[in-house]
Every structure is written in structure tokens, then in C-alpha cells.
Amino acid sequence: MKIRLVSLFFLFTIVVNGQDSESAKDRICWSKNYTLEWLDFQGTPPETESSAALSSLAIPYEVETYSDGRIVININSCFVKSKSWVVPKYKNNLLLQHEQLHFDIAELIRRKMVKAITDADLTLENAEIVINSILRKFWSEDYKRMQEQYDRESNFSRFIRKQIEWNKTIAEELELYKAYKYTEITLNVN
């Protein structure tokens, strides 16, 4: 017997969504071997927007529980191309690096989510509730707080020294949580 839960986190809002091939084509899953390019920003900037760029980030996940006591979790951090945009006159390498770090922060938070899930006292009966609670907490509190602090301290990439400090800090944190880099996790709760 298998129970399946599929959800998708978008910009501080939770949206339930399936994993269809069209949405998969619109996403770039985080990889240490891939760096964002301006061509990835395929959305259109709102006319009234004062920002130079926006990275739309998501943490889609799927949880499957099995009667033999296994819980299989697939969780990624993704960049959503159609909802990410840049004002053309502001395109520069420093801003692109700034947006890449937003993506890196999403990956760091994803790894922290994985750690919290693997540390949780899960059962087949409580898996859905506990995992959803962990993900909501990290997304609405930790992710939001870190992204806002990053923009504030780096002044949206304008404070180069702070931008460099953030780059270093997030790289170190990603290394610290490298044991949680896997996007598919199988837990045995028997």
C-alpha cells in the first residue's frame, strides 16, 4: 500500500501541484554544476515594479509512505523560469551573481529541511503532518528571514563587500550541510 502527497512551495506561498512534464521544463533544479544565466529569466517584469530582477524559487516535494514502514521523500530546490524576470537595462554580472545566491539560499534551506525531516520522530501515521509542518516552518520563517536579510545587508548587490561575505557564508553553509544534499531520501520507521 502506498500513499502519495505532492506539494509545491512558491515564494512564501504553498501551492498544491502535480509534477507534470510542462512544469518540469519550466524549472531548473539546483546543482552545484549549474549557474544561472540571464536566458533563464523568462518572465516579464511588471510595469510598476521597482526591482531590477526577481528569482522565483520553489521547493517541490513528494512523500510516499509504504505499509512496510518506508517513507520516500523527493525534495528539490528549483528556479522557475517563467516567473523569474530581469529589467534588461539592469542586467550585469553582479546582479546575476546576487540572484544566483538567492537560489543557493533556497538550496541551503532545502538541506536544512531534509536534516529536520531525518531527525524527526516519524511514523507512517504522522509522516504527512510532521513533514508538512517542518517544510512550512522552514519556508515561511527561515527561508523568508534569510532572503530578506541577504537583500537588506547586500543592498540588493550594491554593497559589494557584503555580497562577497554572503557568497562565502552560503558556500560554507552548503558544505556544512552536504550530508543532506540528496534529493531522494528513504526512511525506515519500523
pLDDT at 22: 62
| 22-52 tens-digit pLDDT | 688 999 999 999 999 999 999 999 988 788 9
| 126-167 tens-digit pLDDT | 999 999 999 999 999 999 999 999 999 999 999 999 999 999
| 171-185 tens-digit pLDDT | 999 999 999 999 999
pTM: 0.88
Domain ranges for the chain, please list them.
Answer: 2-188
* Contact present, 104 and 55 (Cβ < 8 Å): no
Alpha-carbon gap, residue 26 to 42, rounded angstroms:
9
